[in-house]
Copies of this chain bind each other. A is one copy, B any other.
Amino acid sequence: MKSNILAWLEEGNITVPSLLFSEYRKLNLNETELVLLLNILTFLERGNYFPTPEELSARMTISTADCHEMLRRLMQRGFLEIIEQYSNEGIRFEKYSIKPLWERLVEQFLVNHQSGLQEATRKTEEM
């Protein structure tokens, strides 16, 4: 019993801003693209920095070819990028980064937040 719960625990959790779920549509992402990005995030958190289209599509309902194309388009549209890093031993490796997704989400948040503030101000002025 104990070993099962420990094994469950070791699988870990993934934590993302709730805003991602309320705003992805406004960012012109569909559900499959969103889940692909979240899958990349789970791989990154497990230390697999460059999951292949095979690894990603194996857990999704899309083919490897579609996954490959979707990755290409997500990079082109500015949601995903490949960055270079160096290990402690000085060896270069490639790594996906979803920082562009967070940037887009923050921009969208600021647009919402700003228009919310303006509306609040307008309502106050109208009174």
Residues of A within 8 A of B (CB): 1-2, 4-9, 11-19, 21-25, 30-32, 34-35, 38-39, 42, 45-46, 59-61, 87-89, 91, 99, 102-103, 106-107, 109-110, 113
Instruction: Say whether A9 contacts B91, CB under 8 Å.
Output: no
Instruction: Say whether B110 contacts A1, CB under 8 Å.
Output: yes
Cross-chain contact of A13 among B13, B31, B46, B91 (Cβ < 8 A): B13
Q: What are the 9 closest A-B residue pairs judged by CB atoms, nearest first?
A: A31-B35, A89-B89, A31-B32, A15-B15, A31-B31, A12-B18, A5-B106, A18-B42, A30-B61
A23's nearest neighbour on chain B, judged by CB, is B59
Q: Given A9-B106, A24-B59, output 14 extra A-B contacts at Cβ < 8 Å.
A: A1-B110, A2-B106, A4-B113, A5-B106, A5-B109, A8-B8, A13-B13, A13-B18, A14-B17, A18-B45, A30-B61, A31-B35, A87-B88, A87-B89
